[in-house]
Chain A
Amino acid sequence: MIAQAARIAAAQDATRLNRPEPFTPPLGDGGFFQRDRSIHPPAHAPGYKSSVLRSPRQSLLSLENSISEITGPVFGHNDLGPLDNDLIRNYAKDGDPIGERIIVHGRVMDETGRGVPNTLVEFWQANAGGRYRHKKDTYLAPVDPNFGGCGRALTDDSGYYYFRTIKPGPYPWRNYVNSWRPAHIHFSVFGSGFAQRLITQMYFEGDPLIPVCPILTTIPDKDAIDRLVAPLDLNASTPFDSLTYRFDIVLRGARSTYFENRPEGN
């Protein structure tokens, strides 16, 4: 509204002084930057066999962002419990989970580098032995009685999030006969509009399974793969307690529109 008032005032000035109206850039319409598909995996990636029957083959229909895409669900602290971002405590029954204690932290930003505030980040993972607490996981590694393997957090005003967990183990899967997943944590992120919705995975710096993973190598761009690998952040580590990894997440850029309850932009 402030920008609009300034524009009207400038136009009135121009009329009064008999000068041409000054140029003002168009207001953002609240749409998102076009998605760069070259840094995402294609739907059909035969090296990852599950994609063969599950990939659309027709071209996607390009759709200019409308109100249906630039809006999305709004979450608040009422949606979370106090232990939701502590995977060491949120399922503990009679002791600590087994494994290497770690902290993961970072920022959710958009492509302009602006933090995405108050957005929901959810994460899930295997335990230290590489076994998921899921009724369909039958891998021989033991289930940890004190580890659930999931959590969630809201970003703060600057887009920052953090959680504490156990470093997950690698595990085998039926892609090639001897395929193993690198250690990873799944991330689900919302952003401010439904078109920013994203699921991805975080990997750990130095893992030798990263270059041979059939899922990671669905991504055609090496730099995009590198950006999924979280570096060890020794400065943020807790002495005699936890190593820390840093994982920043970038969502699509917003051609910003003015929200009264979010004057810094969306």
Chain B
Amino acid sequence: MAQPLNYLKETASQTAGPYVHIGLIPGMAGFDIFEKNFSNVLVTPNTKGERITLEGRVLDGSGTPLRDVLLEIWQANAAGRYNHPADRSAGALDEDFRGWGRAGSDFDSGRITFETIKPGAITDKAGRKCAPHVNVWIVARGINIGLNTRLYFSDEEAANAADPVLNLIEQPVRRSTLIAERSERAGKVVYSFTINLQGPEETVFFDV
């Protein structure tokens, strides 16, 4: 008998339930408790980069928007660098940008928004340029383990076409499920996205 290989096992995931707001965004649950709250606004007036709004919805298998879903996003700054010690790439850190935010969907419309900046392109460890993207994590009642996906930008066609992750998706038609559409509304840049949990337009989710 060989020696035991004593790795621990990851703790099993459980659904965030319908009341995820209580712990993570209590203002949406209807009460004020923490002195400092996390939010869907990632920028301060001093943050460097192009201001954008990400606006979207998550649809279930019947096409109905989830009205109790929570999204978190994680992204690089305008120079393409993550605010984390493991990223030692060349771009400058921005003290006014943590790069992380969370948002619940509106209880009536299912609408989700983030106020952030457009991330710069990052370079992967093989030295390849990656198209600008935002990492997304999705939890809700009925989602047994958080779903990982990404948002890319519709005005980055050339970069998207060369992106190593988008090119891993075998079916070109499915790559479009990760592209947020750029538009301008009252002078503001808005990128719109739809995440489909099921169906012919099912979003590509990642096993990271």
Q: Which residues of A contact B (CB under 8 A)?
A: 29-30, 33, 35-37, 39-43, 45, 48, 50-58, 60-63, 65-74, 78-81, 84, 90-91, 109-113, 122-124, 132-137, 148-152, 186, 188, 192-195, 197-201, 215-216, 218-219, 221, 223-225, 227-228, 249-253, 257, 259-262, 266
Q: Is the CB of A39 within 8 A of B12?
A: yes
With a cutoff of 8 Å between Cβ atoms, the chain B residues found around residue A111 in the complex are: 7-10
Can you offer 9 A-B residue contacts whose CB atoms are under 8 A?
Answer: A53-B60, A53-B142, A55-B143, A65-B208, A67-B125, A186-B20, A199-B146, A201-B14, A227-B11
B85-120, CB under 8 A of A: which get 1 and which 0? 111010000000011100000010000000000000
User: What's the minimum C-beta distance from A57 to chain B, rounded to whole angstroms?
Assistant: 6
User: What's the minimum C-beta distance from B120 to chain A, rounded to whole angstroms?
Assistant: 13
Q: What is the chain A residue whose CB lies nearest that of B60?
A: A53
B23-56, CB under 8 A of A: which get 1 and which 0? 1101001110111101000000000000000000
User: What's the minimum C-beta distance from A68 to chain B, rounded to whole angstroms?
Assistant: 5
Instruction: Pick the residue among B29, B135, B142 that contacts A68 (CB under 8 A).
Output: B135
Complex CA–CA separation, A208 to B81 (angstroms): 50
Main secondary structure on chain A at its contact with chain B?
loop
Interface residues on B, range: 35 or more
For residue B79, CB closer than 8 A to chain A, the reply is no
Q: Is the CB of A252 within 8 A of B24?
A: no
With a cutoff of 8 Å between Cβ atoms, the chain B residues found around residue A221 in the complex are: 12
For residue B162, CB closer than 8 A to chain A, the reply is no
Main secondary structure on chain B at its contact with chain A?
loop
Instruction: Pick the residue among A60, A122, A137, A149 that contacts B205 (CB under 8 A).
Output: A60
Q: Is the CB of B14 within 8 A of A228?
A: yes
For residue B82, CB closer than 8 A to chain A, the reply is yes
Instruction: Pick the residue among B30, B31, B130, B208 that contacts A69 (CB under 8 A).
Output: B208
For residue B202, CB closer than 8 A to chain A, the reply is yes
Q: Is the CB of B10 within 8 A of A250?
A: yes
For residue B83, CB closer than 8 A to chain A, the reply is yes
Q: Is the CB of A261 within 8 A of B85?
A: yes
For residue B78, CB closer than 8 A to chain A, the reply is no
With a cutoff of 8 Å between Cβ atoms, the chain B residues found around residue A224 in the complex are: 9, 12
Q: Is the CB of B23 within 8 A of A40?
A: no
With a cutoff of 8 Å between Cβ atoms, the chain A residues found around residue B100 in the complex are: 72-73
Instruction: Pick the residue among B11, B22, B202, B203 that contacts A134 (CB under 8 A).
Output: B22
Q: Which residues of B contact A (CB under 8 A)?
A: 6-24, 26, 29-31, 33-36, 38, 60-62, 64, 66, 68, 72, 74, 76, 82-87, 89, 98-100, 107, 122, 124-125, 130, 133, 135, 137, 139-148, 150, 165, 168-169, 197-198, 202-208
With a cutoff of 8 Å between Cβ atoms, the chain A residues found around residue B9 in the complex are: 36, 39, 111, 223-224, 227, 250
User: What's the minimum C-beta distance from A148 to chain B, rounded to whole angstroms?
Assistant: 5
Q: Is the CB of A133 within 8 A of B31?
A: yes
Q: Is the CB of B206 within 8 A of A84?
A: no
Given contacts A36-B10, A250-B11, contact A134 B30 (CB under 8 A): yes
Complex CA–CA separation, A135 to B208 (angstroms): 35
Instruction: Pick the residue among A45, A60, A74 that contacts B207 (CB under 8 A).
Output: A60
Instruction: Pick the residue among A48, A71, A137, A252 that contacts B86 (CB under 8 A).
Output: A71
Complex CA–CA separation, A137 to B21 (angstroms): 12
Q: Is the CB of A124 within 8 A of B23?
A: yes
With a cutoff of 8 Å between Cβ atoms, the chain A residues found around residue B68 in the complex are: 136
Q: Is the CB of A39 within 8 A of B30?
A: no
Complex CA–CA separation, A195 to B145 (angstroms): 12
Q: Is the CB of B198 within 8 A of A56?
A: yes
Given contacts A54-B60, A132-B19, A135-B30, contact A41 B86 (CB under 8 A): no
Complex CA–CA separation, A200 to B15 (angstroms): 7
With a cutoff of 8 Å between Cβ atoms, the chain A residues found around residue B140 in the complex are: 54
Given contacts A53-B198, A186-B17, A199-B16, contact A70 B86 (CB under 8 A): yes
Q: Is the CB of B11 within 8 A of A249?
A: yes
Complex CA–CA separation, A250 to B12 (angstroms): 9
